Amino acid sequence: MSSHDPFDDLEAELTALGDLLDTPSPPPPDVAAAVRARLETPSPPPSDAAAVRARLETQPQDSARRVRRARWKVVAAVVLAVIAVTAATPQGRAAVARVLRFAGIELQLADTPPAPVRTTANLPGERPVAPDDLPALVKFPIRTPSELGAPDHATIADQDRVVSMFWPDGVRLDQFQGGVDPFFFKQLGPPWPDYVQVAGTSAWWIPGEHPLGYIRRQDGTEVPLRQAAPTLVWQRDTLTYRLEGAGTKERAVKIAESLR
């Protein structure tokens, strides 16, 4: 082609223009580290409930998932758990609009506030133990928020997989090995959970009172526990924490960050 061929000139011009176009991107090592962090996070094995939700997943919810994922982009480098927001209108909980699985806690989001739980129940196999005995009784490292000091009393439950600590002013901290199958579920309506950070990692603040229950590991049955106070949920390593009764979001985050 001769250089007077207008197409040829235009092609050269477009190539030169391309070189002048700015497409910012983060430092490659950061991207690599973020991708690695995601690959190192085990994805939850599909439970029956998840399979039902997956089948029901449709385009509008896919869009919602995208939007939500974009919001988490900023913390991608420190991703602890791949959070799957899946459509959820399985049988028996038709009012649930979306399910958020976060670190062993399933947040069932509905457009209207769920009916409160009037009863209270204990976790499966929950029994009181002396706080000092906890490290010897469970397989994971026990952490205590220095902000609160030593707990007043403690329990362990679910074959020693869930530890709960209690303080006199109504604060309760649950810690358990999560991240795979959800163990707790929370039924939420507006106000929606609020995304926050705890020591640089992702966390959710659930601002309103809400029904709390657990999902039986054997068969996935949902067992209501009680009406829970505003709660902060977060994850550290493979452990999930839920802090209830701290009052404000700010105090909850402060307590969470003091975990030692």
Residues at the contact surface with another protein, assessed by CB under 8 A: 6-7, 9-11, 13-15, 17-18, 20-26, 28-29, 31-36, 38-40, 59, 62-63, 66, 69-70, 73, 76
CB of 10 to another protein, least distance (A): 6
- How far apart are alpha carbons 205 and 193 in whole angstroms? 5
The Cα-based distances of 21 to 17, 28, 31, 155, 247 in angstroms read 7, 19, 21, 60, 50
Q: Of 194, 229, 223, 225, which is closest to residue 212 (Cα–Cα)?
A: 225
Output the smallest distance, CB 86 to another protein, in A.
Answer: 15
Residue with Cβ nearer another protein (140 or 195): 195
CB of 41 to another protein, least distance (A): 10
Nearer to another protein, 22 or 132 (CB): 22
In angstroms, the Cα distances linking 111 to 20, 72, 97, 187, 188 are: 47, 22, 7, 11, 8
**Whose Cβ is closer to another protein: residue 30's or residue 194's?**
30
**Residue closer to another protein (CB basis): 65 or 254:** 65
Q: How far is the CB of 100 from another protein (least distance, A)?
A: 17
Q: Which of 227, 226, 228, 230 is nearest to 251 (CA)?
A: 230
Nearer Cβ to another protein (21/130): 21
Minimum CB distance to another protein smaller for 66 or for 153: 66
Give the distance from CA 56 to its chain's centroid.
21
Smallest gap from Cβ 11 to another protein, in A, equals 6
Q: How far is the CB of 124 from another protein (least distance, A)?
A: 35
> What's at 125, amino acid-wise?
G
CA gap 77, 200 in Å, rounded: 10
From residue 213, alpha-carbon distances to 140, 174, 188 in Å are 23, 13, 12
- Contact indicator for 75, 197 with CB cutoff of 8 Å: yes
